Amino acid sequence: MNFKIKKINNKPEKPRKEKHITDQVQSAKLEIPKFKIPKFKISLGLSVSLIIILVLVVGIVKAMSSIDFKVFLKIAGDELQKDTSGHTNFLILGTGNKNHEGADLTDTIMVASLDDKNKLVTMISIPRDLFIKDTQVGSQKINQIYYAAKKKFTNSTQGLDVTKQEIEKYTGLPIHYWIKIDFDGFKDLVDALGGIDVTVKKTIVDPFYPKGETKEYEVFSLSAGPQHLNGDIALKYARSRKTTSDFDRADRQQQVINAIKDKATKAETLLSQDKITKILDALKENIETNISVKELLTLGSVAPDYKTDQIEHRLLHNDPSRCGGFLYNPPVDKYYGMYVLISADKQDLVRKYIDLSLNMPQIGLENSKIQVLNGTKRAGAAVETKQILRRFCFNVTKFGNASNKNYTQTTYYYKKDLRPKTLDFLQKIIPGKESTELPSEYLKTEAPATFPPNVDILIELGTDYTDSPDYITDPFTGLAIYATPKAPAATTPGTPATPTKTTAPAPSNKPSTKSK
């Protein structure tokens, strides 16, 4: 059996003034005996996210033939790039369409990490208001980097490469591949799938949703509960933020991606040549990526191994009461009048959080229950440590004082023969010895004496940690002197505030007060 991949010659990219510059278009011709394969002129990227890329490649082949496509794709494909943890990392960007006034501002920014050994995928959302110090195109919000770099180098691919480099510097992760999709591609993809199903957590009433490609607004509303969304409504659901928050919006975006993945993996999609054709037609004008055809085939070969419960979603934001809340908004007069987000701490906790989320996804699935006890004279150490650990998304169920305040060595207690993987990361930020011999004063008093209920790990803090330079203080305590914007009336307590909408892209040589 012959399996040929043929590249069609590309025409040089021609930038158009004030228009969206699409990347060079390539296509692959698959020749399989006894099967008539339609020819599609598509760019290399096939989806809004890593998951969709995996699914579509498998779907195309499965819909076209009855061969053992998984083995077939492995033979035909190229090995994926990996980091030292054995993970393949993707940068996923969402932009406006070519007629949108902020067409090259990246409205959605996510990093997805594929752990093929453990068959896990983790996605983390990067807020668009994150302030980046850059020497190539000027320090500015992260959502303006692609716009500024594309304008400076007059080339979309170079703009995406610069954006990738900035994400690498901020996260500390190597980014192997980038994928960019615009609004039209997103809407057409959802419609090609026949719509998606989501459960809306709370009713949305947004009177400030952008009206088409104008500077006017329209009301977008959606009731709480199960909803079937077409492409237009799905885009509004993913983009709306004026009456909620960036935290909520990032959560909805990941929810929508998961819904697309669920719909794309259904048999009626995978076995429908008509739907596959519509999907390819929907994406061919609206996707840019540096993933090669052969690497796509390899992604297709591993797609069947990933299930919904093997996909972890994480957020990075400015609400310190929630998982991922490591950012804050400084006074606007210090940043050219802009609303921006920066790291709240000086101990590099954001990188540690990203390392935990993307390099150790098994820990999130484990969800160990943790109790923190302060065995020192440092007041509030248990409370402060509890807040930090919850920001790292750990499940701290109890906290308080130890049996006395004279402990010199921090100790982790856990049940015999049940060492949680969570300890691998905890030891990185709070070093201590480990023991399965829990002191009698902490044992459940009823006979027989047992480990405390609802606790998998008991941390007893000692002075070796609380009195050391490595002790993690809560950075938000010292930021209380700064005034923070009031949350919109429709939000719940603790929801991050959002900036006022502005419209024009920023100049590339210095930070801008403008935002998408």
Name the pairing type of β-strands 106-115 and 217-222: unpaired
504 pLDDT above the threshold of 90: no
pLDDT the model gives residue 382: 97
d(CA 123, CA 199): 20
Share of the chain above pLDDT 70, in %: 68
pLDDT digits over 476-487, tens only? 987 754 434 443
HSE on the CB side for 379, CA within 13 Å?
Answer: 0
Q: Pull the structure tokens for residue 92.
A: 């996923």
pLDDT over 70 at 84, yes or no: yes
Q: Over the chain, what is the mean pLDDT? A: 76
Model confidence at 272: pLDDT above 90: no
Of residues 238, 88, 105, the one with CA closest to residue 163:
105
Query: If you average pLDDT over residues 403-429, what whole number do you get?
Result: 94
Say how far apart CA 129 and CA 415 lie, in whole Å.
44
Residue pLDDT, tens place only, 194-218 = 899 999 988 988 888 877 666 678 8
Question: Considering only CA atoms, which of 251, 243, 242, 246 is closest in space to residue 200?
Answer: 251
Digit-coded pLDDT (tens) for 19-65: 333 333 333 333 333 333 333 333 333 333 444 544 444 444 444 33
Structural domains in the chain, CATH included, are 83-291+306-315 (3.40.630.190), 363-466 (3.30.70.2390)
pLDDT tens-digit map of 235-266: 889 888 766 666 787 788 878 877 887 777 66
What is the rounded CA–CA span in Å between residue 445 and residue 450? 8
Range with the lowest mean pLDDT among 55-64, 161-170, 272-281, 341-350? Answer: 55-64
The answer on pLDDT for 447 being more than 60 is no
Both tokens of residue 478? 């010292």
CA distance 473 to 163: 32
Residues sharing a CB contact under 8 Å with residue 489, sequence separation 6 or more, in sequence order:
none
Per-residue CA distances from 147 to 131, 153, 155, 242 (Å): 15, 10, 10, 23
The reported pLDDT for the residue numbered 251 is 81
Judged against a pLDDT cut of 90, whether residue 109 lies above it is answered with yes
